[in-house]
Amino acid sequence: MHDDRTLVEARLKRVLDERIRPAVYPDSVPLEVAVWHAPGEPVPVAEGLAGEPEPIEVGARWGAPWGTSWFRVTGTVPEAWAGKTVEALLDLGFDENMPGFQCEGLVYRPDGTPVKGLNPRNQWVRIGAPVEGGEEVRLHVEAASNPVILDYHPFLPTQLGDKETAGSEPQYTLTRMDLAVFDETVWQLVLDLEVLGELMHELPMDSARRWEIVRALERALDAIDLQDVNGTAAQARVRLETVLSEPAVPSAHRISAVGHAHIDSAWLWPLRETVRKVARTTSNMTALLEDEPEFVFAMSQAQQWAWVKEHRPEVWARVKKAVADGRFVPAGGMWVESDTNMPGSEAMARQFVHGKRFFLDEFGVENDEAWLPDTFGFAAGLPQIIKAAGSKWLLTQKISWSQTNKFPHHTFRWEGIDGTRIFTHFPPVDTYNCSMKGSEIAHAARNFKDKGVARHSLAPTGWGDGGGGTTREMVAKAARLRDLEGSATVVWETPAEFFEKAESEYPDAPVWVGELYLELHRATLTSQAKTKQGNRRSEHLLREAELWAATAAVRAGLPYPYEELDRIWKTVLLHQFHDILPGSSIAWVHREARRTYERIAGELTAIIEAAQRALAGEGVRELVFNSAPHTRDGVPAGGAGTPAAEGRTHLTPRPSGGFVLDNGLLRIEIDARGLVVSAYDIEADRETIAPGAAANLLQLHPDFPNMWDAWDVDEFYRNTVTDLTDADEIAPEGEGEGVRIVRSFGSSRVTQVLSLAPGQRSLLLDTEVDWHETEKFLKLAFPLDVHAERYASETQFGHFHRPTHTNTSWEAAKFEACNHRFVHLEEPGWGVALTNDSTYGHDVTRTVRTEGDRGTTTTVRVSLLRAPRFPDPETDQGVHRFRHALIPGASIGDAVREGWRINLPERRVTGAGEVAPLVTVDRDAVVITAVKLADDGSGDVVVRLHEAHGGRARATLTADFEVAEVAATDLLERPLADDAVERDGNRVALRLRPFELVTLRFGRAQSGT
């Protein structure tokens, strides 16, 4: 037989595009359209419906950036269409290739009932099936003219990312507003041809099945009269029945399709627009569930569910019904799909507490899976947090974006720092926006790395990022792929149904130990410094507020601010979403975030101050409140008292220029350039700074990644560096405990104060940068005379070790990594810690000593600031303040303690006398991360703690109040059946494995709130 394959394929494409698809709507009449443009921000539905619209014609421009226009469309169904299916086709000016990234709409009936959302791949509204003819049609469309930020030439700087700079130029052209006859037979033929054509292209050229499909497609095309597609479509479908009914082979890969719409809680749109995106998507999905009995839809992020409940009660009623039917599934059990690298220990725990509790309270549903398809890598402390929240599975897709190394598994068990293992799945379809294309399904089957031992994978199916969800076309394709020769099989299932099958068939799945590092988007650890500082400050203010409010409630009967703390926690958790905290959203998002963090700081400070005043009582004695989990200068952790006096620091001129700081523990030499050329540990008789090098060295790099400007820093940035060694000024600061250094470079200015407090083994560096650079990367370097093959960086409830070498591509790819409050390097018996109050990104490298090639030293560099221009062209411009501390001679315990110190400054209050801690623990290795009252309002005291040094720990926790009972609980404060607590009165004996996380709930003998 002659090879006419390409001829048939080209014929199929042209006939589909030019004749069959247009025949889905064979007849149409225009609707009358009028529009009212809402002034300012979006208005309530009633106000939008009541607006006075003016006529507008198809072809007219509409929609200022970030505006809202209310379209009223009216018309009459022609009498001649009686007995037919009729739909309204409402094209606001969509680009079908950009679902979720442009204008969208939500359709309402005149009474305000939402019908469905409109987006580029979902432009239809069903009017009747069948119609009688003569029906009056009246619909209202709340249309959002969100500008396109990520265009066909991506990453170009634009002012459209903030309403304050976007201007008023109309963004869209009204394209189609019609009533049309919907020919379902032709529509079904389109899906038949698409599924077979796409499958055909994925099969081997010499496959018999491919040629069967070619011949069947040819016969179907022969059956179509191109001048009467609607009259001959049924005949064409008959010629495809046999080839569509051939069952899949028994060994076919099995795909669990989960209806999905990954909606970024903010990204290229502000938070307020996400509220409407969620409403549009959930309206569509509840409608699709009614039409398609096998379809299942899952939605994560409790915050988004809460938005529907608060802002769209009519949609919420439909959602609740669909959840009760088991087909609209709460997924993930987190407040938002957060970043997991940067949130602190408690914040990461509270993501699950607030997310799971919302789904339990609203629906009685508890999630067993964490659902994070788009998060930029996963910290090594996460597995035990997932388990402590009562979950056991994790799904993500993003690791497939890694640039250098391909992850070796799609299904595996992930082991965290404490040894907890979580059954984990990476969908081999490699997208969380699966549309049931043949190429996607074939890729999932070919790509699946666990063939031979496992057969199941999951495909999140539906338009996402900006929402939209699953379409009726995707459902129709999935129906054809349920059991089709040559293809993987596809069935709609809930996440839990998939995980149960996957874990059952693969009980001995391989283990991956440590962080799941994304070899991409590394710059998200630095971009938008003020957003990151707001998060860090809020986390620690929340710790203080809960600690002192709980102490004051127990000791002084002060009412505990349950509602305020709940609301503030949810706000902080929302801003940990994986495009807000990482700094990859538009300017509007980060401008609002800065204001939100300022408001939160004021509210939490007021809670703290009220509690501390109640605890201090009336008096004239100056008290220091210590919120840290370790005794500080004689003041106990979680208590208040008078700190012990601590010696003096001496400042003297350095003979060759600069100054020397000496407090009897450390001697710091700062040269005439303002660089630290010596940090001498007097007791250990040990120099900290690498020979011939200088610390406190600011380094400036060019920073223009190949793409994803706010997200990425590419390794070639290191090829060019400018050391900022010129000082405008160097002079004593304060009472002789510090040195002030001023530098200028480019259009920017840095002011630093280096100080050495009496009695402390840490050099404090306060850095203020007035930053006005573009596409530059600012680092702060500390070359250390430490030979280290690995170093520790803090993560949730512990720390994680990374190698300092680049033996393999896996290590080399980690050229920028995340830490929380500290990094720590050591040789046996002596180490160095570097702590911070608000930075996350860093790099660690090894350098050959300059003295005769004798061994290596280790350089730690802190990432301070970047200046990408997309999506926010003014990223990080302005004044920033950072605090770091260099601690020579530090053990890992010192690193932990000093990390808390720099993030929790003392608070001084005048009062009557000392305040004893509510709870104490007798070993520094056991760190209390939270002291609070139970969320249920019972007045019980909840204490969360963990082993922080990475070893076994025995300790005694003592409560300074009368205890009726104690229970070990999960993160949601529910007792654990198999965890008996060893209690002696008000004391609890603790035996912890390395990094073990424990939550204890104390019932009080004399309860009060």
Residue 525, classed as helix, strand or coil, is helix
Name the amino acid, one letter, at 818: C
Secondary structure E strands in 727-848 = 729-733, 738-745, 748-756, 763-771, 776-784, 790-795, 798-803, 817-818, 822-827, 830-836, 841-848
Largest CA distance in the chain: 103
Task: Judge contact between 377 and 517, C-beta under 8 A.
Answer: yes
Half-sphere exposure of 943 (CA within 13 A, CB side): 25
Among this protein's residues, is 374 annotated catalytic? Answer: yes
**Two tokens at 610?**
């009220």
Which has the closest alpha carbon to 584: 705, 475, 490, 477?
705
d(CA 150, CA 795) in angstroms, rounded, equals 33
Tokens matching residue 163: 């309403």
Q: How far is the C-alpha of 386 from the C-alpha of 409, rounded, in Å?
A: 20
Q: What is the C-alpha to C-alpha distance for residues 929 and 743, in angstroms, rounded to an integer? A: 39
**Radius of gyration in angstroms for the set of CA atoms belonging to the chain, rounded to a whole number:** 31
Specify the 3-state DSSP secondary structure of 668.
strand
Q: What is the identity of the amino acid at 648?
A: R
Integer CA distances (angstroms), 144 to 56, 141, 271, in order: 16, 9, 14
Active-site hit among 183, 374, 418, 709: 374
| Structure-token match 């009459």, residue found | 76
Q: Is the peptide bond before 871 cis (omega within 30 degrees of 0)?
A: yes
Strands 640-641 and 621-625: antiparallel
Orientation angle between helical segments 562-574 and 587-616, nearest 10 degrees? 150
DSSP symbols for 956-989: EEEESS-EEEEEEE-TTSPBPTT---EEETTEEE
Counting Cβ atoms within 10 Å, is residue 741 exposed (0-12), middle (13-18) or buried (19+)?
buried
Contact status, residue 681 vs residue 672, Cβ threshold 8 Å: no
Tell me the Ramachandran region of residue 826: left when phi exceeds 0, alpha when psi lies from -120 to 50, beta otherwise: beta
Q: What is the dihedral of CA 957, 963, 967, 970, to 10 degrees?
A: -80
**How many CB atoms lie under 10 A from the CB of residue 359?**
21
> CB of 758 within 8 A of CB of 806?
no
What amino acid positions are annotated as catalytic residues? 374
